[in-house]
Amino acid sequence: MKALVYHGPGKKSLDERPVPTLAAATDAIVKMTRTTICGTDLHILKGDVPSCEPGRILGHEGVGIVQQVGSAVSSFKSGDRVLISCISSCGKCDYCRRGMYSHCTTGGWILGHKIDGTQAEYVRIPHADTSLYPIPAGADEEALVMLSDILPTGFECGVLNGGYSPAARWQSSVPDRLGSPCS
């Protein structure tokens, strides 16, 4: 299969690589139909992420079709159209139980970082039952791929961590004229 491979800072190439195989009973193999290039991939290519070693297939977001599932996968089957989460999560560790999926002890941001990623024809998805999401029939894959990383990152940073809300924005844009000594 063809894959975009990182070969060190400033070095990348489209290489021929073997199709991934199941490594655990909770894995799925997904045939990629859509992926993106994230700012994180650009940081890796620049050399800003030394934990990403040369030889890694880049990418951590996308949409595809399940080709194969491990024996412990119960939510998906071959032929299912899926959205791939940028964060792999076991759903069972203490971090996952607290909703801190990016800190999952056996997952987190591993695709295109610690294991081969989505900028390839096929990708192995660990923890498939909790790292894939079904796509409804007729849904626009080009639009849905944005739900894989771009939208959740903005939501986490802006809404959850930044405290942004429409009410907060409205309040900050309305001058406080009541009770102000200068009014």
CB-based contacts of 155, cutoff 8 Å, min separation 6? none
Q: And the tokens for 172?
A: 């900050």
CB-based contact 82:134 (threshold 8 Å): yes
Res. 144 pLDDT band, cuts 50 70 90: confident
Contacts of 35 (CB under 8 A, 6+ apart): 59, 61, 62, 63, 118, 119, 145
State residue 145's pLDDT score: 79
Tens digit of each residue's pLDDT (9 = 90 or more) over 37-58: 888 899 999 999 999 999 999 9
Q: What angle do CA 63, 77, 58 make, to 5 degrees?
A: 35
180: pLDDT strictly greater than 60: no
User: What end-to-end distance do the CA atoms of the chain give, in Å?
Assistant: 69
The torsion defined by the Cα of 127, 129, 135 and 137, in degrees rounded to 10, comes to 130
Distance of CA 133 to the CA centre of its chain: 11
Confidence label for 150 from pLDDT (cuts 50, 70 and 90): low
Domains and CATH numbers, the chain: 2-173 (3.90.180.10)
d(CA 90, CA 129): 8
E strands present in the chain? 2-6, 12-16, 28-35, 62-69, 81-84, 122-125, 132-134
Which pLDDT score, from 0 to 100, does residue 29 have? 98
Residue 177 predicted with pLDDT over 80: no
